Amino acid sequence: MTVTASRIGIAHQIAVALDTPDWKTFSVWCETFGPRVGVLKVGLEAFSRWGPKAVELARQHARGVFLDLKLHDIPNTVAGAVDAVRALGVDYLTVHIGGGPDMLEAAAEAARGEIKLLGVTLLTHLDADALEVLELPGPARERVGRWASIAARHGCSGAVCSPREVALLRERLPAPFELVTPGIRPGDSPADDQRRTATPRQALADGADLLVIGRPLTRAADPLAALESLAREIETAAGS
């Protein structure tokens, strides 16, 4: 990967998703993006391959680390996992709101205020047809709104939602409850497997706190140039 000199400051509201099967690539991304964005996100793929070593490397380069394990199990098991993650020193950890209030509360208790728990509402690749198949009919945004409120009531510091639902959630759940949005696609990027997407500018205007961005940055021919252009877009959005 070619890395050009960066002219941007720190893009605090960006979390780069480090999804790759290759350790060398993971390391280069940590070095490239870590000092330039607010958060590095270690996902299921990296954690399943390399475990705590992946978190440790991300921590060495990043201001903040987001461990995206999307925990979903009985309360006792989730509490045990959260307790183990606490020792890794991450800033954010995801849990599925679908695990229910008891699971969320067990997770929050185990986090002891040392990790911000983010409740995952509906995954952003699920479109209306998929929700119908899952017998979760009705507007996704209504379900996301209800589930995010459950997360807020049961110990989560924020929620993960698609950018299409940010505006509704912001209305119902004011700061400091954090809204974290994947499914971000700058104007010229392909949607990949994401369905409920929006541009970074729109997501921020609607009230998102943190934008999770993977492939539009990591798969770009020139990742730093892509980050610079994204950061400029965000700065303009903040100034307008």
The residue ranges that bind ligand C5P (CB under 6 A) are 17, 19, 43, 68, 120, 123-124, 160, 182-183, 192, 194, 212-216
Torsions phi, psi for 29 (to 5 deg) = -65, -40
Residue 53 annotated among the catalytic residues of the structure: no
Q: Determine the residue with CB nearest ligand C5P.
A: 214
Q: How far is CA 2 from CA 23, 129, 213, 230, 240, in A?
A: 17, 40, 19, 18, 33
Catalytic residue among 24, 41, 53, 70: 70
> Residue 44 or residue 175: which is nearer to ligand C5P going by CB?
44
Task: Considering the complex, state which of residue 123 and residue 130 has its C-beta at the smaller distance from ligand C5P.
Answer: 123
Quote the tokens at residue 183: 């499914």
Assess contact for 119 and 147: CB atoms under 8 A. yes
Please tell me the distance from the alpha carbon of residue 25 to that of residue 29, in angstroms, as a whole number. 6
Nearer to ligand C5P by Cβ, of 88 and 226: the residue is 226
Bridge partners (DSSP) listed for residue 115: none
Min. distance of Cβ 123 from ligand C5P in angstroms? 4
Q: CB 169 → ligand C5P: shortest distance, Å?
A: 13
Smallest distance, ligand C5P to C-beta of residue 54, A: 13
Q: Per-residue b/e over 187-222, b at no fewer than 16 CB within 10 Å?
A: eebeeeebbbbbbbbbbbebbbbbbbbbbbbbebee
Considering the complex, state which of residue 40 and residue 108 has its C-beta at the smaller distance from ligand C5P. Answer: 40
Q: How far is the CB of 119 from ligand C5P (least distance, A)?
A: 11
* Active site residue ranges: 70
